[in-house]
Structure 1
Amino acid sequence: MRIALLIALLLSSLSAYSEPLAPFAAEFRIYVNKLPTPVKADLVLEPAGKPDYYHMLLKAKSFLLTNKEESYFYWNDCQPRTDRYVHEFDGFGQHRYHHMQFQWDPPRVHNESEDDAASMDIADDTLDELTILLRGRCVFATGDKEYTVTSAYGDDLRTHHFVVIDREKIDTPLGKVDTLVVENRRTGDSKKKRRTLFWVAPDLDYMVVKAKHIESTFLKAEMIMIDYHGPTLEERAAAAEDQAKKTRPGAE
């Protein structure tokens, strides 16, 4: 009986997080060594005109530079599958970019940059650099504390190992929220002190509400949410309860 109950709860959790993604828009302020900078970043998730098809945009901008990443992807069975990914940087007299098109039969990615154009074979579960954290949405919801994912960026394949290292309640525009502190451990990183941390909120579908990159003892950058537009905590909780009712044994 207990095993059957655990299976039912697990299926309920997976079903809830296989639901369509909730759109949102959030604004972040960038800090360097705890000092505020003029750089702000916008993170947007929105439907992109086809069933289970989404657009995610992360754009940082100041009077000195613009850095934009965006991904168009399908969401199916709690797994993002990239259609195309763009990274563009303009600043300090430079324009750098990667325009990447993903194909899946067979799995390959085609990249065009300011230097050249090339294609490479990829594994069937390869993601782009922007959607790799979305994979944790269902992994962490089941209670697992870590997962490994491969991303394609330019002509490189990168391995990321995400590990929950702590829990922390932090202030956000929605009030205090409980978060998981997740570290991205990159395979083969030559700098031992380099770390990247993400604070993801389970009550906000595991979205990032804060991020921190430690390049060295003397250089640390943080991205902290200062504004949010999307479903509230109460609306998300009500939607999760409605979904749980639908998936309970005996529900019509």
Structure 2
Amino acid sequence: MTYINLPSDQQAAITNVDEAVLRSAVRKCLDEERMGPIQGLGLGDCGPYVGNKLHGFQRAIAEYSKAKAHAKRERTRQDALYAGNDLIHAVQQMKERFETERKEGELFFIDDQIRPPFHLSKRLSVPVSFRWRASSSADWKHGHLTFVYDFSPQPSYTLPLPKRKPSAAQAARDLEDSLYREWERLKAQALFSMREFFRDGGDGDAVPEVFAVRPSPHGGGLNNFSCNFWQAERPAL
């Protein structure tokens, strides 16, 4: 799973979609009340965001084609029109994201293909590798930052209490699941923070090798600032 980088197959699919052709195909789908005109554009390969909008458009067209009464046909056509516009907008957004990543990739790249360790403990860590350079003509430099976080699982007060105490094996499985979910959150926050640092013009030479992640002072574990290694610790509000 990727977090901040579009996979190469999605990049190719997004690039290959012609917006003018897509708009024309959406109109034909509405006129013909079927999805045939839009097939073959490779929208299903453009990633989950576009895929969800494509499925929404497909459902809307199906509802429109089944409608018989005049009022329902008017309503379902409008729904299909909105869904088609949402699909076009989603493709535009992904094209913009791809272009942003392409331009940023000339100056920095953060590897988001990070596998969880075979065994997780309450001291969680996420190693992030990256490269950067001052200009597109400069040589690449490579760096590595490990985010370390001491996780303290908190009981959930929103779930009903179990009727009996879980076995030691079940408790161990529950802890492992909790650690894995928190590790995934840590990875996401680490990657987002690293990207923000470089987007704001950060110098890779200033990145430390290890950073002790700061949990939220209000409890609840990680927040949006926990992995911002370049910022001084924020005071409690």
TM range (shorter): under 0.3
Give the structure with the higher percent helix.
2
Larger radius of gyration: 2
